[in-house]
Amino acid sequence: MAGITNGDFCKKYRDLFGIVTIGAYNLDNATLSASREIAKRGRREFLYDIPKLRKVIKREIIEGKKSNSLVSVNIRFKDFNEAEDTIKLIDKYGDIIEINCHCRQGEITKLGLGQELLKKENNHILKDFLKGITELNLRIPVFLKIRANFISVDELIYNLNKVRKYFDGLHVDCFNPGKDYPDLNYLEKIRENFKEKIIVGNNSIKSMEDGKNMLKYSDMVSVARCVLSNNIQWISEFNKYIQNREIK
Ligand SMILES: Cc1cc2nc3c(=O)[nH]c(=O)nc-3n(C[C@H](O)[C@H](O)[C@H](O)COP(=O)(O)O)c2cc1C
């Protein structure tokens, strides 16, 4: 999560997670300026000048790997040409590249980015990003971090179908407006329609029970706020449950 998930944060959790996610990093000047505005409102953001950024990301990936997890790098950008070299660097050192189609901060959505990328009218932007990335022939998989209920699930499925061949996985924040539990119906429909993709289910997972429910419609689950509040005691137990399930 912004300002908190860097390599140093991740390596505190050695052997606990299959994947750790760092970022979101701004790969171009448009998203960096937006992030500076967000930071003025008091939110922690990663603010690195673009020339320094590649060195920073390389370091954060190397530190994050000390957690013995794969490192996924969450990124946002408007101008693919500005972002290209950093994407190549992430491919060299990281394990997964995650395009942020999730952010709802006005400074980012004003640019047509974050969750705006999920809309039909911005599908061509998402497609251009993904085509550009595909042409780089990356070694590592490309995931989209998406937010449920920004648009209807049918609309989302329709739009994602148009870019289907350009991504490998979906990291789904099952955001359920006004509720403190995830929208599993939304996730179920995504699962049914994207059977060949890796799906990471996310939102409000705080216990074994929550994790097991999410796994009905996902291959993995992810946790954010529960790590911040140090509610992690159940996670080793959950990992054992998954390992036993896989052996059977
Ligand atoms: C302060 C804060 C910052 C976040 N920043 C990001 C971000 O930069 N990129 C992203 O994809 N998700 C971001 N998220 C979303 C989380 O990764 C996660 O999807 C969300 O908190 C729901 O999961 P949880 O219920 O386990 O916390 C952020 C969440 C919070 C609370």
Name every protein residue with a CB atom under 6 angstroms from any ligand 1 atom. Answer: 1-2, 23-24, 74, 100, 102, 145, 173, 202-205, 223-226
> Could you tell me if residue 94 is inside a domain?
yes
Which ligand 1 atom sits closest to the C-alpha of 147? 19
Parallel, antiparallel or unpaired: strands 169-173 and 198-202: parallel
Residue nearest to atom 18 of ligand 1 (CA): 224
Specify if 92 maps to a domain: yes
Atom of ligand 1 nearest to the CA of 100: 11
Q: How many domains is the chain built from?
A: 1
SS3 at position 25: strand
The answer to whether residue 226 sits within a structural domain is yes
- Atom of ligand 1 at shortest range from CA of 204: 25
Domain with 211, as residue range(s), is: 7-247
Beta bridge partners of 97: 73, 142
Strands (E), 142-217: 142-147, 169-173, 198-202
- pLDDT tens digit at each of 248 positions of the chain: 677 899 999 999 999 999 999 999 999 999 999 999 999 999 999 999 999 999 999 999 999 999 999 999 999 999 999 999 999 999 999 999 999 999 999 999 999 999 999 999 999 999 999 999 999 999 999 999 999 999 999 999 999 999 999 999 999 999 999 999 999 999 999 999 999 999 999 999 999 999 999 999 999 999 999 999 999 999 999 999 998 987 77
Decide if 1 is inside a domain.
no
* Ligand 1 centroid distance, CA of 1 (Å): 5
Q: What's the CATH code of the domain at 136?
A: 3.20.20.70
Nearest atom of ligand 1 to the alpha carbon of 102? 11
Q: Is residue 199 part of a domain?
A: yes
How far does the centroid of ligand 1 lie from the alpha carbon of residue 102, in Å? 9
Residue 101 lies in a domain: yes
- Tell me if 2 is assigned to some domain: no
Question: Does 189 map to a domain?
Answer: yes
